[in-house]
Chains A and B, each alone.
Chain A
Amino acid sequence: MLQTMNLSDDDASLMLRYRDGDTEAFAALYANYKGPLYRYLLRHVRNACAAADLFQEVWSHLIATRARYEPRAKFATFLFHIAHNCAIDFFRRDSNLRRVLPAYDSDSQLPEAEVPEHQRPDRVAEFVEQQSAVLAAVAALPQEQREAFLLREETGLNVEEIARITDVPVETAKSRLRYAVRKLKNSLRPMQEPEALRLRTYA
């Protein structure tokens, strides 16, 4: 069953209350969203240190700009749009990432001095190896597809809202999600088949 959060406008009301100075409203919002946001960032950037930094950056941005908050969309859309932008900035800042990921997939190696510690191929590989099969498959998805899938799984938002968060047309978001699901299914199938064969043998 898809994990969905309480995305009713209660969260927007909480944010409005926080905008007006109610700290307890913020604590309630934080409790609702800290897990999904952290997992989205962790599995999107694939590094715990960077995820922690971005997590703090997202909440700091929300706190700093709370005075301008207007409930024009679901609060989750608002929050994860900030997170999406922070992640984009992170990927831009670390322009080496685009060179490291192909290097990880192929055999070519970049000089280690040019690569940040957390993005070194062996670190990325280590991160992937520590995950379960499905998380490793998610980590191996292309960046945009991975993000679409994580947004869907962590927030339960629909495709239109995912498109809004990622600033792309709905069809693009739908396409990304479709390809992500297809790749994950294909990645998980070989692991399921031996088990299925074994069950059939015992039967």
Chain B
Amino acid sequence: MPDELKPDELADYLRGGSDVSCQYQRDSAPEPPHELDRLVLKSAGSSNSKMPFKPQSLAPFAFAASVLLSFALVLAMVFGPQVKKPDDKPQVLRVRIFKSDPPRATPASARERNPVLWLADISALRRAGRGNEADAELRRFRSAYPDYIIPISE
């Protein structure tokens, strides 16, 4: 058959150096445009990382980062610089706690509470010759009862 390739012709072609192959290789050998080079190399570079991205592989790092951040936050709150405000100054309230009723003034004797009896005692001191004591008691009486009208004999 005239159109049929001889068995050894394919082998010849595969060995290289056939007319068809030589003519094909002699022809121009176009290269991709530089723009394509740039795009492909950029794509390869931008997607480059030591390992392809795997979100689950970052979980331990995320956990460690959370712990570290929390710890740093606590440290900052405790030891970090603090701004003093006037209102922030603690107010000290002094509160006296009584176990019983509040103390009263020194209780006066029953005689002191009664001006007539108090004056009688003062007169007795004067009669007994204890004039200084009688005068002192009288001053106390007047401070206690400034409006009380003392009889002339006192």
Contacts and interface: CB of A to CB of B under 8 A. Distances in A.
Given A1-B16, A159-B14, A177-B10, A132 B29 contact: no
Contacts of A181: 5, 9-10, 13, 18, 20
A158 B28 CA distance: 23
A158 B17 CA distance: 15
Interface residues on B, range: 35 or more
B140 to A, nearest CB: 105
Contacts of A21: 48-51
A63 B49 CA distance: 12
A22 B62 CA distance: 26
A182 interface: yes
Nearest to B12: A181
B44 A26 contact: yes
Interface of A: 1-3, 18, 20-21, 23, 26-27, 30, 34-35, 38-39, 42, 52, 55-56, 59-60, 63-64, 66-67, 131-135, 138, 152-153, 158-159, 174, 177-179, 181-182, 184-186, 188, 192
Given A1-B22, A182-B5, 5 more contacts: A38-B31, A56-B40, A60-B43, A63-B43, A67-B51
